[in-house]
Structure formats: structure tokens, C-alpha cells
Amino acid sequence: MKREPRENVVLIGFMGCGKSTMGIRLSYRLQYILEDTDKLIEARAGMPVREIFASEGEEAFREMETQLLRKLAEKKGPRVYSVGGGTPVRTVNRPLLKKLGTVVYLRTRPETVYERLKNDTARPLLQGEDPLGKIRSLMADRETAYAETADVILDVDEMTPDQVVESILWSIMQR
């Protein structure tokens, strides 16, 4: 028998793992409202993330993420959340993410992220020299935070977008 998940779904993972794309597809499949934290922060600040980093600094952006998570916890109705790649790094954010719903970690290899984002200019943390090196070291630093926050971990490097969506749906139905 087909069951519907009763909870919100929260997508976490490194930049370029597919959170935004999967968020759109999943919210469509489930008919849930989609909330993308980067977009909400940009709308509130009136500028793109890279400008927030440039003008106010990373710490100010991180504080905006935490404040937003606190606000989102008050929202009613089923939702899919796609959250910025660095959100689970702050310890205080981890219980907030868990409280929001079932947390699904879309895990990728550094090389996959590099291939997807090598021409990207929107992610301040990956600009400059040696982006693959930056991806490798940031990912290694963050792996524990992602794994600790996740209820479900999916290795998505070899999956098509359809397979990722089906795997997310299947995993959350088992819970």
C-alpha cells in the first residue's frame, strides 16, 4: 500500500549535491510547499548570497541561517526544505534541522561537485585558486556534521535526478 510521509522533508548536503533541484521535484511529487533557505535569506536581505558574504561577512550569513531555521519551525503544513550547504555545520542548527522534519543527506564525492560547479560564480566559498582542493577539505570538515544531522543518507553520484527523487521517497516511506 502506498503511504504518504507524515513529516516535512529536509534536504541537506554539500554545494552542488542537488538539494535545490531535488527540492523542486520532491515538492512537486508530494504536493508540499518548497522552502529554499538561501532564497529566503536573499529575499529578506535584498541581495544574493555572494553579496551578503562580501558586504556583511560569512558569520552574518550564518546568523541569518540560524534565525531563519528558528522561524521556519513555527510554520504549519507539510513542506520540503532545501537548506544551504553550510547550515548543518553550526552545532546549534542541527537540532533545529531535525525538528523541522526527516533530514535526508544527499552525499556526493568532491569530484562530482567540482564537475557541476567548476564554472559557478554564485558560491563565494568555492571561488579563487584550487576549487577542487577547497571542495575536498570543506567536505572532509563537514562530513561528521552532515552524517550526525541526517536521518537518511543517500549516495547520489551515480543516480539520475529521477532515481534520487524515488530513493528519497522510498527512504522516507520506510520511516
Segment interacting with ligand S3P, rule: CB under 6 A, options 82-90, 101-109, 127-135, 153-161: 82-90
Each residue 102-141 as x (binds ligand S3P by CB under 6 A) or -, in order, gives: ---------------------xxx----------------
| Listed ranges 78-86, 106-114, 127-135, 165-173: which one lies at the site for ligand S3P (CB under 6 A) | 78-86
Query: Going edge to edge, which strands form the sheet with 9-12?
Result: 33-36, 79-82, 9-12, 102-107, 152-155
79 binds ligand S3P (CB under 6 A): no
Strand 79-82 and strand 33-36: the pairing is parallel
Map residues 17-36 to x or -, x wherever contact with ligand S3P holds by CB under 6 A.
Answer: --xx----------------
Count how many Cα atoms sit within 13 Å of the Cα of residue 19 in the half-sphere of its side chain. Answer: 27
Which of 38, 64, 102, 167 is the binder for ligand S3P (CB under 6 A)? 38
State how far the Cα of 153 lies from the Cα of 157, in Å rounded to an integer: 12
Q: C-alpha cell of 21?
A: 533541484
Q: Which three cell numbers stand for residue 26?
A: 520532491
The binding site for ligand S3P (CB under 6 A) comprises 15, 19-20, 38, 49, 84-86, 123-125
